[in-house]
């Protein structure tokens, strides 16, 4: 983290978990446990049907609600899809874009890029996910792969918009597996991502972009990961489903300003 230059962001990704009633119950508990300090931005990205319950429960808090996906088109014949203006109207401030689980369902780099443009156009903060597979890591092409994903994702994004973007580095082999990247491994890639952004947008912009780590981050390993200079937060799946664990991760982000 480096709170002098950029925000720390602790974001939950609930994936396909919890019903609207369970969402309501979760936030009743969470609001009782939530730290009062403001050392990080707190975000919860929930299934689309849970958004109203989350927005209602968090109305009087500073926690931002996000969606887990969006469609790049403004409206029209896209059965089952959700447009960015619908998310904004429902009370969302964030949207996860390009999660590896969605890429595995066929989402391309071009789709990710189009969704980022749509989100920024609607004033939603995109949490843009990138990450390599185990095969790619073992083949030694992690840096090339991530560089390509970042360049494709940000193609055509204007310099004044880039400040709104949050990047999440999520090695696919670490997601939901209990195999966390070591702090050194995660830092190395997050630092490399910042270098790619620096080359595209300059040092001042790159210094201000929050880059999160995701992949089996939990209440035990969060502090060490978040202590790395280029890891500005976490995108947390499994551990965000249990209020006490998510709260402990938020507390782990309360580290001295570098």
| 13 is a contact residue toward ligand PGA (CB under 6 A) | yes
| Beta carbon of residue 140, minimum distance to ligand PGA (angstroms, whole number) | 23
Q: Which of 37, 176, 202, 229 binds ligand PGA (CB under 6 A)?
A: 176
- Residue closer to ligand PGA by CB (options 44, 175) is 175
Residue 234: its H or E element: strand 233-236
| Beta carbon of residue 202, minimum distance to ligand PGA (angstroms, whole number) | 29
Q: Which stretch binds ligand PGA (CB under 6 A): 32-40, 59-67, 116-124, 230-238?
A: 230-238
SS3 72: coil
User: Mask: binding to ligand PGA, 112-151, rule CB under 6 A, as x and -?
Assistant: ----------------------------------------
| 170 is a contact residue toward ligand PGA (CB under 6 A) | yes
Task: Give the span between the Cα atoms of 170 and 196, in whole angstroms.
Answer: 16
Task: Give the span between the Cα atoms of 13 and 163, in whole angstroms.
Answer: 22
| 217 is a contact residue toward ligand PGA (CB under 6 A) | yes
Do the beta carbons of residue 25 and residue 249 sit within 8 Å?
Answer: no
Do the beta carbons of residue 222 and residue 252 sit within 8 Å?
Answer: yes
First to last CA, the chain: 7
Residue 240: its H or E element: none
Residues within the interface to ligand PGA (CB under 6 A)? 13, 170, 175-176, 214-217, 235-239
Give the residue numbers marked as catalytic: 99, 170
């Amino acid at each position: 983290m480096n709170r002098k230059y950029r925000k720390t962001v602790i974001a939950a990704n609930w994936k396909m978990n919890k019903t609207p009633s369970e969402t309501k119950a979760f936030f009743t508990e969470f609001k009782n446990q939530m730290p009062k300090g403001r050392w990080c931005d707190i975000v919860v990205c929930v299934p689309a049907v849970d958004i109203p319950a989350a927005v209602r429960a968090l109305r009087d808090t500073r926690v931002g609600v996000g969606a887990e996906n969006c469609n790049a088109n403004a409206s029209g014949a896209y059965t089952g899809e959700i447009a960015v203006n619908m998310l904004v109207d429902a009370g969302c401030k964030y949207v996860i874009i390009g999660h590896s689980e969605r890429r595995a369902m066929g989402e391309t780099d071009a789709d990710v890029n189009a969704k980022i443009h749509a989100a920024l156009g609607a004033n939603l903060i995109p949490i843009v996910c990138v990450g390599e597979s185990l095969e790619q890591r073992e083949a030694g092409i992690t840096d090339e792969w991530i560089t390509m994903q970042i360049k494709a994702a940000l193609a055509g994004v204007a310099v004044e918009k880039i400040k709104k973007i949050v990047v999440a580095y999520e090695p696919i082999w670490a997601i939901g597996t209990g195999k966390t990247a070591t702090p050194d491994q995660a830092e190395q890639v997050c630092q490399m991502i910042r270098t790619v952004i620096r080359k595209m947008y300059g040092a001042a912009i790159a210094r201000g972009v929050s880059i999160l780590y995701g992949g089996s981050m939990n209440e035990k390993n969060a502090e060490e990961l978040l202590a790395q200079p280029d890891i500005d937060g976490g995108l947390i799946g499994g551990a965000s489903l249990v209020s006490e664990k998510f709260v402990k991760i938020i507390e782990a982000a309360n580290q001295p300003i570098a």
